[in-house]
Amino acid sequence: MCHEEIEHRKLAAGGRNAVEAGRTAICLVGAARRFELTGPSIVRNVLAQYPQADLFLSPMGIQGLLQYFNLVQGCMDLIKSHESRENFTYDWIVRTRVDGFWAGPLEPSSFIPNTYVIPEGSRHGGLNDSLGIGKRDISAMALSRLSTPDNLVAAGYSGLNSETAFLTQMKLGQVSTQEHSFQFCIMSDRRYSFPPSQYTTPVASLDIHGPLNGAKCRPCRDPYVGQEADEIWAKLDTNRGWVEWRNGALGLCNATSEWEKDWGEVFDVMVGPIAAAERKRVAAMSVEECVSDLGVFMGKTAQWKSPDPVHICQLGLAKRTIVQSISS
């Protein structure tokens, strides 16, 4: 039995305690879309599962693929800076998105030595890049996205999207990858044509009974389910590697319009009492309470590369007021 397999079996046997025996960095990247919903789920199902881990935050500024690569690589830069100051190196790095809603915990079985673990599905011809877990050296290779374009061009590649660039990057770096199932999805306010055409992005219903692995999602009343949903999924481009949908496993939302006016009630029914209670608490939150909560969140971070909590709360709660006035 090789050393890597022995270590993986120890991790599997020891579970969360075995992971916590090493140092773990958890980095959140991207825009805080629907953070009032995603934030509590990340705290509960990711951060609280590994309380000894250090948190890093790298928020989105401008849009675009290069900016996304900059965010991902910026995550590694923050970690390196902290390591240098504190004179140690992390054993594990988890990179996920701020706009990801977690319906279940991040399991210790996803920590595998010498392998970069990613979600199943949503491959778009390459590798799903909405989440990644790996040892520090492998993660450093996986998170070096900003230097990817030049390296790929030098190797003769062009015209790649984020997922195919990621796949090629990992192949060139000879990094082993493995797909796992994860109970999280990416909250989306974007509008998409429906029913989705062969190359259009589908939006899954948040009524989660299985792993969504980073698929786009939203709460919606009367989602398309069962055979009706299966017939729509079957028409989509299989090369994109969508999440498992067969036998009615995944419902679909008609995302041609904004979220429904009563989306909060729909969300509460779909996600269960804990997440529903968190949403209601945030919906009634004052700026002072928001700042206090963000202060606790900020206290968990090793580095906070983000606006001041007061500014975040004033901006976020102002937007909430506008949305509520429109919906009423």
pLDDT tens readout for residues 100-145 = 999 999 999 999 999 999 998 888 888 888 899 999 999 988 888 6
Mean pLDDT of the chain: 81
| 69-73, 144-148, 313-317: range with lowest mean pLDDT | 69-73
Tens-place pLDDT, residues 173-203: 888 999 999 999 999 999 998 888 777 788 9
Burial of 74 by CB count in 10 Å (0-12 exposed, 13-18 middle, 19+ buried)? Answer: buried
What pLDDT, on a 0 to 100 scale, did the predictor assign at position 62?
A: 40
Beta pairing, strands 24-30 & 216-218: unpaired
Which long-range CB contacts under 8 A does 169-177 form with residues at least 24 apart? 169/141, 169/142, 169/144, 169/145, 170/116, 170/127, 170/141, 170/142, 173/141, 175/116, 175/138, 175/141, 175/142, 176/114, 176/115, 176/116, 177/115, 177/116, 177/117, 177/118, 177/127
Please report which confidence band the pLDDT of residue 283 belongs to, taking 50, 70 and 90 as the band edges.
confident
To the nearest whole percent, how much of the chain has pLDDT over 70? 80
| pLDDT value at residue 26 | 93
Quote the crossing angle between the two packed helices 35-42 and 273-283, to the nearest 10°.
130
**Poorest-confidence range of 259-263, 296-300, 303-307, 319-323?**
319-323
Mean pLDDT, to the nearest integer, of 302-319?
72
Q: Is the pLDDT score of 212 beyond 70?
A: yes
Highest mean pLDDT among 16-30, 49-63, 162-176: 162-176
Nearest one of 132, 109, 152 to 18, comparing CA atoms: 109
Residue 69 has pLDDT above 60, yes or no: no
Calculate the CA 271 to chain-centre distance.
17
Identity of residue 81? S
Residue 11 is predicted with a pLDDT of 55
Contact 98/27 with Cβ under 8 angstroms? no
Tell me how far apart the alpha carbons of residues 326 and 309 are, in angstroms, rounded to a whole number.
Answer: 26
Q: Where are the domains of the chain?
A: 3-180, 188-277, 285-327
For 171-209, b/e burial (b = at least 16 CB within 10 A) is eeeebebeebbbbbbbbbeeebebbbeeeebbbbbbbbe
Checking if the pLDDT of 306 tops 60, the result is yes
Mean pLDDT of 159-167: 82
Which CATH fold would you assign to the domain 3-180?
Spore Coat Polysaccharide Biosynthesis Protein SpsA; Chain A (3.90.550)
Q: What is the pLDDT of residue 73?
A: 73
Residue 326 has pLDDT above 50, yes or no: no
